[in-house]
Chain A
Amino acid sequence: MTHAPTETAEPITGASLTTATFSTRGFSRAGYDPQEVDAFLLRSAAAVDNLTTRLTAAEQHLRDAQAEIARLQDRIDRDSRTDEVQQAVTVLTSAQITADATVAHADQYSARVMTEARDLYEDTRRNAAILEQEIQDKARAVYEDALLRVEAHERENEERLAQLALNTAIAQQELDDQTAYLRTLRDASMIQLERFLEGLLDHLAQEYGRAHPDAAQAATGPVKSTNNGSPGTVAGTAARRAHRNRLLTGAPTTASNRPAAPIPDHRRRNNIRGGNAMIPRQAPGSAVLPKAAPPTAT
């Protein structure tokens, strides 16, 4: 416990207030020394005033500081929403957009190249298909044309062949006709010659009976009379006729043993005027030979 400070040099503190003691007066010791108390109170009041002033100032200072902090905080908040953060977000966004554009550009380029390549490929494929179709069409046309030509050639050849066969048939026919004609001519000539010879012999027999073998035989044999148409003459004539008939039947008198080919109409202009029909039937005894006219000589 300390004695209440009475000297100004010692500052009043909370502790000095609670522990302050005052001197007593007189014999009773009832009460502090009023002078000491007054002096202490005066000093206390001064100290409180001083403290109050400082406190008020400090409080003001704190309020000022708090306001400043609030102001700053508000500014920071506002900045974070608007200025700096916003700026940073903007910078980042624009950088990202630039990057996106660059990549998009590259991708677009790639897409364009690939699309062009694909289109080109498809066009080429289609053109190839069209070309192939055209070539196929052309090939088919060429093939069909060739086929037509071949068929035409075949037909032509067939016609030629038929013509050739026809010509051969005609030639054969002409040959056959000629052969028949010659045979007929031969036969007819033979008959005519025979008739002529018979006539000649008859004449000779009549005119010169001795010359007749039968007459000669009769002259030397039992039959004497040969001058007046003896039976020997008749018999001799019959024998000659038989001989002539043998001659006539021994050789063919028709044109040919082969069937005659029919003569087409258009060949009739080269008519050989039939086979036997043209052979002039000579009167018996005629010495005139038929003309051996060649088929085309008319």
Chain B
Amino acid sequence: MEDIDTAALKENFALVAGHGPDEVAQYFYSYLFLRHPQTRDMFPPAMTKQRDRLVGALVRIVTNVDQVDQLVPYLQDLGRDHRKFGTLTAHYPAVGEALLTTLRHFSGPGWTDKLAADWASAYILVAGTMSGAAEHIAETEPPSWDAEIIEVDQRTFDIAVLTVRTEEPVPYLAGQSVSVEPTTTRPREWRWYTPANPPGGLDIELHARLIPGGPVSTALVRSSTPGDQLRLGPPFGRMTLDSGSQRPLLMIAGSTGLAPMKAMVGQVARDGGRQTHLYFGARSDREVYDRKALAALQDWHGWLTVTTAVSDDTRWPGPHGMIGDVAAGDGDWSGHDVYVCGSPAMVEATVKRLLAQGVQERQVRFEEFGRA
């Protein structure tokens, strides 16, 4: 990108974004759908979240435009993930045209031939990285996996455990997440879920908690029935087991953040077992939604200890309090590999507490299941 004046691009992007990120995204998509109507089918009817995603991605790209080492892996992931939408290399020029037109539209008199040329060059690099990664992965991996709901186990009125069956095994690692589209009930809406069982089989266990107003979670928890079709996107995520480590494990899960922990416990069992302490936290007794499975796991695996704590239920006979505090108060974890998964607030509080107690940052891996 030596020839590209990245400072000018950043300045111009700030100027454009000043018109309101949503306005800019609205113009972008309207122009794209007007000039290339066939692209409309790749998007859901409601575009609000899609616009947020576009703006988020653009901001990230423009912000990191000088840091190629960070930008390139992100763009490769983005390209790989975009295959599930049906994105082809042929679509990239259309998006580039819409993007440049949008930038020109909102730049007004500030738009110059030099800016146009620089944006065009930058876009060609970005699109080339994305489509290159997509084409590369296409040799080994489908754009998405079709799946069918086998069982919906409504554990509480807002938590369901689903068993879904794919035709081919999805090549995820225990702890990684896949995006899920309720093809039957809410097509073209996607949300991240983490398989709760180790990989290799055709059946995948998903723990879904209803987010009020969330199209995918509402569809999965309240509207799904066996036989419904789903599509699963390619797996992502860095919260996986360190196969080179023999240190004991500490896993701290809030609510459906339990899913990756169960998958990793299953993986640890396959690998021969490792001292593991799993802490599971819920708000009330009723939200301890997987107690049978946890009791069974503890019975089977001598190396596994499970502690369940409840934060807001006087009738709970076990430990009370926020799960991060309960775990942190139980001992010295500075020699453990630590995994944390839960709501953003839970993850933040837990990690902070552990670091304050002498756990090193590099020991801790975490994921927030609340992300969109």
A129 within 8 A of B: yes
B280 within 8 A of A: no
With A110-B213, A125-B286 already in contact, the answer to whether A89 and B31 are too (CB < 8 A) is: yes
* Chain A interface main SS type: helix
Inter-chain contact count A-B, CB under 8 Å? 65
Contacts of A204 in B (CB 8 A): none
Contacts of A115 in B (CB 8 A): 212
A99 within 8 A of B: yes
* In contact, A92 and B33 (Cβ under 8 angstroms): yes
Measured between C-beta atoms, what is the minimum distance from B339 to chain A in Å? 28
A41 within 8 A of B: no
* In contact, A96 and B158 (Cβ under 8 angstroms): no
Candidates B34, B46, B212, B286; contact of A100 at CB < 8 Å = B46
Q: Report how far A89 CA is from B28 CA in the complex, Å.
A: 9
A24 within 8 A of B: no
* In contact, B48 and A100 (Cβ under 8 angstroms): yes
Give the number of chain B interface residues (Cβ < 8 Å): 25
Measured between C-beta atoms, what is the minimum distance from A84 to chain B in Å? 10
Q: Report how far A116 CA is from B10 CA in the complex, Å.
A: 45
* In contact, A110 and B218 (Cβ under 8 angstroms): yes
* In contact, A96 and B157 (Cβ under 8 angstroms): no
Tell me which residues from 199 to 249 in chain B have a Cβ below 8 Å from any Cβ of chain A. 210, 212-215, 218
B123 within 8 A of A: no
Contacts of B34 in A (CB 8 A): 85, 88-89, 92
B89 within 8 A of A: no
* In contact, B46 and A114 (Cβ under 8 angstroms): no
* In contact, B314 and A133 (Cβ under 8 angstroms): yes
* In contact, B213 and A108 (Cβ under 8 angstroms): yes
Residue of B nearest to A96 (CB): B47
A197 within 8 A of B: no
Measured between C-beta atoms, what is the minimum distance from A120 to chain B in Å? 10
A39 within 8 A of B: no
Measured between C-beta atoms, what is the minimum distance from A26 to chain B in Å? 74
A103 within 8 A of B: yes
With A100-B48, A133-B314 already in contact, the answer to whether A93 and B213 are too (CB < 8 A) is: no
Contacts of A125 in B (CB 8 A): 284, 286, 313
Candidates A97, A107, A122; contact of B215 at CB < 8 Å = A107
Contacts of A103 in B (CB 8 A): 45-46, 48
A143 within 8 A of B: no
Measured between C-beta atoms, what is the minimum distance from A281 to chain B in Å? 85
Category for how many chain A residues contact B:
20 to 34
Measured between C-beta atoms, what is the minimum distance from A163 to chain B in Å? 49
* In contact, A114 and B48 (Cβ under 8 angstroms): no
Residue of B nearest to A91 (CB): B30
With A110-B212, A121-B157 already in contact, the answer to whether A129 and B315 are too (CB < 8 A) is: yes
B275 within 8 A of A: no
Measured between C-beta atoms, what is the minimum distance from A254 to chain B in Å? 74
With A110-B218, A114-B158, A129-B315 already in contact, the answer to whether A92 and B30 are too (CB < 8 A) is: yes
Interface centre among B30, B157, B210, B214 (most CB of A within 10 A): B30
Q: Report how far A117 CA is from B156 CA in the complex, Å.
A: 12
A153 within 8 A of B: no
A159 within 8 A of B: no
Q: Report how far A121 CA is from B210 CA in the complex, Å.
A: 14
Residue of A nearest to B158 (CB): A118
B26 within 8 A of A: yes
Residue of B nearest to A114 (CB): B212
* In contact, A96 and B30 (Cβ under 8 angstroms): yes
* In contact, A89 and B286 (Cβ under 8 angstroms): no
With A93-B26, A93-B30 already in contact, the answer to whether A111 and B47 are too (CB < 8 A) is: no
Residue of B nearest to A108 (CB): B213
Q: Report how far A32 CA is from B127 CA in the complex, Å.
A: 78
Interface centre among B45, B46, B214 (most CB of A within 10 A): B46
Contacts of A156 in B (CB 8 A): none
Q: Report how far A293 CA is from B46 CA in the complex, Å.
A: 119
With A99-B45, A107-B213, A121-B157 already in contact, the answer to whether A114 and B30 are too (CB < 8 A) is: no
Contacts of B47 in A (CB 8 A): 96, 99-100
Q: Report how far A100 CA is from B45 CA in the complex, Å.
A: 7
Residue of B nearest to A95 (CB): B30
A132 within 8 A of B: yes
Residue of A nearest to B222 (CB): A114
With A118-B158, A133-B314 already in contact, the answer to whether A89 and B27 are too (CB < 8 A) is: yes
Contacts of B33 in A (CB 8 A): 92
B192 within 8 A of A: no
Q: A118-B212, A121-B157 are in contact. List 13 more A-B contacts (CB 8 A).
A: A85-B31, A89-B27, A92-B34, A93-B26, A96-B26, A100-B47, A102-B46, A110-B213, A110-B218, A111-B214, A114-B210, A125-B284, A129-B315
Mark A residues whose CB is within 8 Å of B.
81, 85, 88-90, 92-93, 96-97, 99-100, 102-104, 107-108, 110-112, 114-115, 117-118, 121-122, 125, 129, 132-133
28 A-B pairs with C-beta separation under 8 A: A81-B105, A85-B31, A85-B34, A88-B30, A89-B27, A89-B31, A92-B30, A92-B33, A92-B34, A93-B30, A96-B26, A96-B30, A102-B46, A103-B45, A103-B46, A107-B214, A108-B213, A110-B218, A111-B212, A111-B214, A112-B212, A114-B158, A114-B210, A114-B213, A114-B218, A117-B157, A118-B158, A121-B157
